[in-house]
């Protein structure tokens, strides 16, 4: 069963509706004791990583999250929280993946935020992308991006710059797009995560 970290910075309704559609059982993680009830953890998030990190710190869950050994999936800002730093508010984050979250504004000539459907190029060996073809489209809404990195990036996307559409470090996974709003391909990501 999947536990969703409930820290007040995520659109949990869209996520739970998607999990219901594909028949995945879930519950809410509201305190440290709740982690033991679940095999996998999702960290949702919308808005800005700095503000989301402050909310996460207020819950007292940070130290427990960084020490988890079970599969963890960060979605959108939840993925950005896995990195070490965000330019938004010059915020220190969870530092699970040693990459930075950067602002598009300073680096692209296109409209910010990056909003809408875009294709990704997943690495073949990432179990999160099983049965996902190269150039599949996913739904993005973000003004900040995580730099692309050969070691930790598990799927690439381009919006004037190449960035991490997905990350993996050991049991920690992240997706910048919203699988819960990405149709069948997004549902496949959630199913794949539920089977890790």
pLDDT tens sequence across 10-24: 779 999 999 999 999
Average of per-residue pLDDT across 34-59: 92
pLDDT tens sequence across 137-180: 999 999 999 999 999 999 999 999 999 999 999 999 999 999 99
pLDDT at position 187 over 90: yes
How many domains does the chain divide into? 1
Average of per-residue pLDDT across 180-187: 98
Residues 157 and 176 sit within 8 Å (Cβ to Cβ): yes
Q: Which of 48, 76, 114, 157 is catalytic?
A: 76
Distance (Å, whole) CA 130 – CA 80:
23
Phi, psi (5° rounding) for residue 80?
Answer: -60, -35
Label residue 30 by pLDDT band (50, 70, 90). very high
The answer to whether residue 126 is catalytic is no
The answer to whether residue 76 is catalytic is yes
Q: What is the pLDDT of residue 122?
A: 98
pLDDT tens sequence across 70-82: 999 999 999 999 9
pTM comes to: 0.97
Distance (Å, whole) CA 68 – CA 83:
16
The answer to whether residue 157 is catalytic is no
When the pLDDT of each residue in the chain is averaged and rounded to a whole number, the result is 96
Average of per-residue pLDDT across 121-126: 95
* CATH number of 77's domain: 3.40.50.880
Average of per-residue pLDDT across 82-86: 97
Average of per-residue pLDDT across 78-107: 95
Average of per-residue pLDDT across 37-57: 91
CA distances from residue 34 to 63, 65, 158, 167 in whole angstroms, order as listed: 14, 12, 38, 25
State which residues form the domain around 104. Answer: 2-194
pLDDT at position 5 over 80: yes
């Amino acid at each position: 069963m999947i536990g969703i970290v409930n820290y007040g910075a995520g659109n949990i309704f869209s996520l739970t509706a998607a999990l219901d559609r594909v028949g995945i059982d879930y519950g809410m993680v509201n305190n440290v004791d709740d982690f033991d009830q679940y095999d996998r953890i999702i960290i949702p998030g919308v808005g800005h990583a700095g503000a989301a990190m402050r909310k996460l710190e207020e819950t007292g869950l940070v130290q427990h999250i960084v020490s988890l050994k079970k599969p963890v999936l960060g979605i959108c800002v939840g993925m950005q929280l896995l990195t070490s730093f965000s330019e938004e508010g010059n915020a220190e984050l969870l530092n699970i993946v040693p990459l930075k979250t950067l602002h598009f504004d300073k680096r692209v000539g296109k409209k910010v935020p990056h909003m809408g459907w875009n294709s990704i190029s997943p690495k073949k060996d990432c179990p999160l992308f099983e049965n996902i073809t190269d150039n599949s489209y996913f739904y993005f809404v973000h003004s900040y991006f995580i730099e692309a990195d050969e070691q930790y990036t598990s799927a690439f996307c381009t919006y004037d710059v190449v960035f991490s559409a997905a990350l993996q470090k050991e049991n920690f996974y992240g997706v910048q797009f919203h699988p819960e709003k990405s149709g069948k391909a997004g549902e496949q990501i959630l199913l794949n995560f539920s089977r890790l």
